[in-house]
Chain A
Amino acid sequence: MRRILMVSTMIAILLSISVFAALAAGKPPEKGEVLPVISLPIPRNPEERNYLGLSGSGLFKIPQIKARAVIVELFSMYCPFCQKDAPGVNELYRLIENNPDIKNKVKLIGIGAGNSPYEVEVFKKTYDVPFPLFPDKDFVIHKVCGEVRTPFYMVVRIDENGAHRIVHIQLGEYPGAEPFLELVLKASGLK
C-alpha cells in the first residue's frame, strides 16, 4: 500500500510538472499581461527600420519599438479572414500616419504565422501592405502566443520607462480602421 502510494505520488508530480511545462509553453495572450517574448529580425529595409525606430542588426523585441503603442497582427497568407481584413488594416496604417498627433506614437506590424519569407512577401505585394511584416515559418511565435487562430490583433502599450502591457486583444471581427484606431488610442491611454 505504501509502495503504491509512493509510485502514485511520483507519477502525479511528474504529470503536474509536464502540465506546468505545457502552460509555460504558451497560452493565448490576455489583456493586462506582459507580451510573450517575441524576437524578430531588425528589418534590413531602411524605411522599415526608421518606421520602427530601430538600428543595427540582429533581433529586437516588440517593446523596443519606438512607440507608445504597437498594434501586432498575427496573420497568415493562407487565412481568408486575414486577406479580407488587409485593406482595412492598411487603412488603419494610413489613418495613423496622416495624423501628426499620433504618427510617431502608434506603430503597426504583422507576423505571418507559419508563413515563409516568400509567402509573407506574396501577401505584402498582393495587398500592398505598407507596414513591416515578419515571417514565422516554423510557428515558433505562433506557439508562444498559444497557437491562436488568425487574424489575432494585440495592442501593446509601452511606457516611457520601457515597461509594457497588452491593453487589447481581438480575434478576427475587425471593426474597420476608424473604430479600431479609436479603441487603440483609448486602450493605450493616448486619448
Chain B
Amino acid sequence: MNKKTVLHFILITGALSLFVLTPMAFGLSDAYRGNIYQVGTLKPIDSVLRVKVGDRAPDFTLPSVSGQKVSLSQFLGKKNVVLSFVPAAWTPVCSDQWPGYNVARDLFNQCDATLLGITVDNIPTLFAWTNQMGQLWFPVLSDFWPHGAVAKRYGVLRANGVSERALFVVDKKGIIRYIDVHDINKRPPLEDLMGALEKLKKGD
C-alpha cells in the first residue's frame, strides 16, 4: 500500500467513526426520556376533513378516563365545547397540549367553554398518561373502539391510525365554529384557540 492510500483510509475511518460515535455524545440527560418514544418528524397532515365550519358537529358518545360516558350533545345549550384531538399518548412531551389547557381553565370559563380531550388510545393507556399531567379539569375520552371512529367521522384520522392534532370549537347550538387541523409536529398556539373562543363570546 502506498502512503496516499494509507492516508485516505485513515481519513475515511476517522471521519466515519466520528459520524458513528456522535449520536452517543449528545446523550441528552433527561429524567423522562425513558418513557417517551421519539416518533421523529411526521407528515404535517395526513387526512381529509369531513366537516366544515357551519356544519352541525357530529354527535358522539365515548368512554372517559373517569369511568363515565360523555356525549357531545350533553353540552347543548350549556357550554361551548372545544374538541382537542391529539395524536397519541406517550409521544413527545414538548408538543403536549393538555397540561397547558389544564392551567388555562379560567380562560375557558370566561368563554363559557369546556374542553374534551380525545385520542385513539385505550382507557388504561390514557389513564397512565394523563396521570403524569396532574389533575386535569376536563374529561379525557377514548376513541379506541371502533378504532378512531369519531376521528374518522370528523375527518381527522390519519392513515397510520392516530388522529391529527386538531381542534374544533362547537358552540352551544352544536355548530362547528372553528377548525384547526394543525401540523402534527407543532403545537397550536393557545392564543389562536382563545381568539376563536373570544369570537363566540362576542357573538353570543
Which A positions have Cβ atoms within 8 angstroms of B? 5-6, 8-9, 12-13, 15-16, 19, 22-23, 27-28, 76-80, 83-84, 113-114, 116, 118-119, 122-123, 126, 137, 146-150, 171-173
Contact = CB atoms under 8 A, between A and B. Distances in A.
B30 interface: yes
Given A28-B29, A80-B133, A113 B5 contact: no
Contacts of A28: 26, 28-29
Interface residues of B, number: 38
Contacts of B190: 77, 116, 118-119, 122
A5 B191 contact: no
Given A15-B19, A172-B30, 5 more contacts: A6-B8, A19-B18, A27-B26, A114-B187, A118-B191
Chain B contact residues: over half helix, strand or loop, or mixed? helix
B16 A15 contact: yes
Contacts of B133: 80
Interface in B74-117: 93-94, 96-97, 99-100, 102-104, 106-107
Contacts of A146: 26, 28
B93 A149 contact: yes
A13 B106 CA distance: 56
A116 B189 contact: yes
A84 B134 contact: yes
Given A118-B191, A149-B93, A79 B99 contact: yes
Most A C-beta atoms less than 10 A away, residue of B5, B14, B100:
B100
A27 B25 CA distance: 9
A13 to B, nearest CB: 6
A123 B100 CA distance: 9
A123 B187 contact: no
B191 to A, nearest CB: 4
A141 B93 CA distance: 18
A5 B28 CA distance: 35
A8 B16 CA distance: 10
A172 B15 contact: no
B94 A12 contact: no
A101 B142 CA distance: 55
Interface in B11-56: 11-12, 14-16, 18-19, 22, 25-26, 28-33
B201 to A, nearest CB: 17
Contact of B8 (A5, A77, A83, A149): A5
Nearest to A28: B28
Nearest to A78: B100
Nearest to B106: A126
B15 A12 contact: yes
B15 A13 contact: yes
B189 A118 contact: yes
B132 interface: yes
Nearest to A137: B189
A79 B29 CA distance: 17
A171 B30 contact: yes
Contact of A78 (B16, B29, B97): B97
Contact of B16 (A12, A23, A118, A147): A12
